[in-house]
Amino acid sequence: MATQSPRHLSASRLVARQERIAGIAVALGFVGNVEYRHVYSQTGGAQYARGSTEDDDLLTAYAEAFDRDADPEDFSLEAIIAHERGHQILARHPRIAKLVAGMSLASEEIMASLLGSIICRADIDREMLSAKAAFELVVRGQTSEAADCRLQILRRTLEALL
Amino acid sequence: MIGTTKLSEIRKKLEQAMGPDPIAELDRQIANAKREGKGTEIMEDLKRFIQRARKATRRKRRTGAKK
């Protein structure tokens, strides 16, 4: 991920990446457009952009999402995309969107990870996203116990609303 | 955006926040939550998250030792 541009890929491998991302996004319930851009971004691997309607929403995945997926000590592609689907739920779910209106960017990121952990199919992806949410609270000065309690309450609330 | 912090770094920071024995700390939190009738999914996720890394490290060390 450190180099400025990813190594060249053949057209068929680029299509395979696009298809893999689209498949994961659909399985996680993403609505809208999904694209793969073979460049490095500063996003961590993917980005959600709200459109004028849900069908116009855009999920963009970048080359580092695949680099991270290939690293056993980093996030899987499924977890990265589930986090972005979490952002879409925050923006589009009628009850959840009301709940989070006006929330800080940092809180939104925590909620996106929690939602991602709820919708993930594999245990390992769910655990990664729960850890990511806990980490965001711990680095903001919460004790691990307070962070876990808070996340547990949030998780129950979100599960009830979904 | 999920951010650029690597998962291994997240694990390290969480372990540091939980003191010298993160698994024992999580077991304590899980027991407390159960006693109070609260949910424990997040704590159990974190426990498995940390345990998974430890198993992988042990596997790596064993593989290394055979060489």
Tokens of B3: 């951010």
User: Is residue A2 predicted with pLDDT exceeding 70?
Assistant: no
Which helix (H) or strand (E) is A62 found in, with range? strand A58-62
User: Which of A81, A139, A93, A5 has the alpha carbon at shortest distance from B12?
Assistant: A139
Query: Tens digits of per-residue pLDDT, A82-106?
Result: 999 999 999 999 999 998 888 898 9
Return the pLDDT at B67: 43
The ipTM is: 0.88
Contact A54, A32 (CB under 8 A): yes
Chain A positions touching B5 (Cβ under 8 A) are 44, 135
Cα of B61 to nearest chain A Cα, Å: 15
User: Is residue A21 predicted with pLDDT exceeding 50?
Assistant: yes
Q: Which of A133, A138, A148 sits opposite B29 (nearest CB)?
A: A148
Q: Which of A42, A138, A151 sits opposite B42 (nearest CB)?
A: A151
Q: Which of B7, B17, B38 sits opposite A144 (nearest CB)?
A: B17
Return the pLDDT at B61: 58
CB contact under 8 A, A156 and B42: no
Q: How far is B44 from B30, CA to CA, in rounded Å? A: 7
Return the pLDDT at A42: 86
In degrees, rounded to 5, the angle at the alpha carbon of residue A140 between the alpha carbons of residues B46 and A67 is 60
Return the pLDDT at A90: 97
Chain B positions touching A60 (Cβ under 8 A) are none
Cα of A145 to nearest chain B Cα, Å: 7
The whole-number average pLDDT for the span A109-114 is 96
User: Which of A129, A97, A90, A6 has the alpha carbon at shortest distance from B42?
Assistant: A129
Query: How many beta carbons lie within 10 A of that of residue A110, not counting itself?
Result: 23
Chain A positions touching B45 (Cβ under 8 A) are 117, 126-127, 130-131
With a pLDDT cut of 90, the percent of chain A lying above it is 86
Q: Which of B7, B17, B52 sits opposite A75 (nearest CB)?
A: B7
- Residue A156 contacts by C-beta under 8 Å, 6 or more apart in sequence? B39
With a pLDDT cut of 70, the percent of chain A lying above it is 98
AA identity, residue A115: L
Among chain B residues, the shortest Cα distance to A81 is held by B2
Q: How far is A58 from A64, CA to CA, in rounded Å? A: 18
